[in-house]
Structure 1
Amino acid sequence: MPAKDVLTTEQVHANLTALPQWRYGMGALRTALKCESSASALALFATIGALAQEANHHPDVDWRYNTLFITLTSHDAGSKVTARDAALARSISAEATSAGAIAKPELLHTVEIAIDTDDVDAISESWRLALGYKRQEDGSITDPFGRGPGIWFQETATPNANRLHLDITVPFSESASILDGLEATGASLDHGAAPRFVVATDAQGNRFCVCTEKGREAY
């Protein structure tokens, strides 16, 4: 039975006004919390685990030395953001503040690999089998354990000569400084689809997209 507490785009952003440590991106609530030490990060990790057990709603948490990367979404709702995610985010934020953790939204970078193809079915299964990934409803493939980058297939009658490019999703609040930095490196930027994504081309012609949550729907 599908979950009934899925939040609309407007509701997601309304919740974010009370969650300054969190950002919305890639269909999830996300934060990066920097702690005073590795030990304090582990202690906060344990606290988050206890909150999750109590709520029977479990986030994805990645511990990296003194920083925790946390992603909240509801698998029973088709990996969409629900009221349960917002509630758990509030609880985590309260504990993080008490522990002296500092939100670092500039660390929230999510990488996907996009492959140009004129025949998705001819290649997608090869990639899925090699990586041990799971096929999603939209035809993309993802690591069921969230360790590797997602892969999606950009169907086009005229595949680019360089068929692979990266989609790098960052919070919109951090995107301006990233794009300014890219221009300073000599990369050219195509803002035609901004703010949803900006196509960057480096000095040797390699492309990647800097994507944000702006212009994407939460459901």
Structure 2
Amino acid sequence: MAPRDEILTRPQIDEALAGLPDWRYRLGGLVTVYKTPTAAGALELIAAVGRLAEEKNHHPDLDWRYNRVFIRFTSHDAGGEVTPRDVDSAATVTKAAAEAGAVAEPGLYRTVEIGIDTPDPTAIADVWRVALGYKKGRGGSLQDPHGRGPGLWFQETLTPNDNRLHLDIHRSKAESGPALEKAAATGASMSSDHAPNWVVVTDAQGNRLCLCTEEGEQPRS
């Protein structure tokens, strides 16, 4: 396990991202999307990222979709938080992407979590963990060990909502404006009491989702 004192604080992460315009902070990781001219170019970029990851012994979560490559760096041995290794790896990948003629589209990187209202998370967490085949993650959340399914977290409350499950859709603050405008245009109820951290969206039948940003998100020790 990596020392916990390697974990970067939010001010340190924000300072690092000022020099990494291709990247965003997201739930304990650094994320981006690169668009290449062709699908073959995306595969070449993936191969380059793989070589760099092997050299540094620090590997990202990576997803290929035609001519786009979705990339996330986090330090699993530091509890799924951002360390200097992630910043260094992101900078190296940025150079490789530029050499490949790739264009950064970080706003396309969306993360979905499922939130469950409950007065006692410990009473139900194992049911969900076993049923989904998940593992315990940061801050008491549950995570797909292969990074495929959405994360799941428990919102502890003595007054659970009638609809106990809701979705959290995470975008970067820089790209959240259009999503909020489009959601409002559908006629949904919008509660901005906690904006810009999150906005609660409720549809005509009372189902909730939250449009979230990285604002206010802190590393979890």
User: Do the structures match in fold with TM over 0.5?
Assistant: yes
Q: For residues 120-158 of structure 1, give each alpha carbon's deviation from its aligned partner in whole angstroms, at most 9, with x where no partner exists.
A: 233221111111001235322110111000111112212
Counterpart residue identity of residue 46, structure 2: F
The aligned runs of 1:1-219 (5 Å cut-off) are 2-3=2-3, 4-136=5-137, 138-219=139-220
Cα distance, 1:25 vs structure 2: 1.2
Match of 1:165, SS state, is strand
Give the whole-Å Cα distance in 2 for the aligned partners of 1:22 and 1:77.
20
Give the whole-Å Cα distance in 2 for the aligned partners of 1:189 and 1:15.
33
Contact 2:79 2:138 in 1 (8 A): no
Give the whole-Å Cα distance in 1 for the aligned partners of 2:100 and 2:185.
38
Contact 1:31 1:105 in 2 (8 A): yes
Cα distance, 1:204 vs structure 2: 2.4
| Percent identity of equivalent pairs | 54
Cα distance, 1:5 vs structure 2: 3.1
Counterpart residue identity of residue 48, structure 1: V
Cα distance, 1:102 vs structure 2: 1.0
Give the whole-Å Cα distance in 2 for the aligned partners of 1:156 and 1:17.
37
Ranges in structure 2 where 5+ consecutive residues have no aligned partner: none
Pick which of 133-142 and 18-27 moved more.
Answer: 133-142
Contact 2:80 2:138 in 1 (8 A): no
Give the whole-Å Cα distance in 2 for the aligned partners of 1:2 and 1:88.
16
Q: 1:144 to 1:212 in 2, by over 3 A?
A: same
Give the whole-Å Cα distance in 2 for the aligned partners of 1:122 and 1:12.
35
Match of 1:214, SS state, is coil
Q: For residues 147-174 of structure 1, give each alpha carbon's deviation from its aligned partner in whole angstroms, at most 9, with x where no partner exists.
A: 0001111122121111110011100001
Match of 1:32, SS state, is strand
Q: For residues 97-134 of structure 1, give each alpha carbon's deviation from its aligned partner in whole angstroms, at most 9, with x where no partner exists.
A: 11111111221110000111223233221111111001
Contact 1:12 1:218 in 2 (8 A): no
Give the whole-Å Cα distance in 2 for the aligned partners of 1:17 and 1:58.
23
Ranges in structure 1 where 5+ consecutive residues have no aligned partner: none
Counterpart residue identity of residue 190, structure 1: S
Q: For residues 163-200 of structure 1, give each alpha carbon's deviation from its aligned partner in whole angstroms, at most 9, with x where no partner exists.
A: 11001110000111110111111112111111111101
Q: For residues 13-41 of structure 1, give each alpha carbon's deviation from its aligned partner in whole angstroms, at most 9, with x where no partner exists.
A: 11111111101111110001111111110
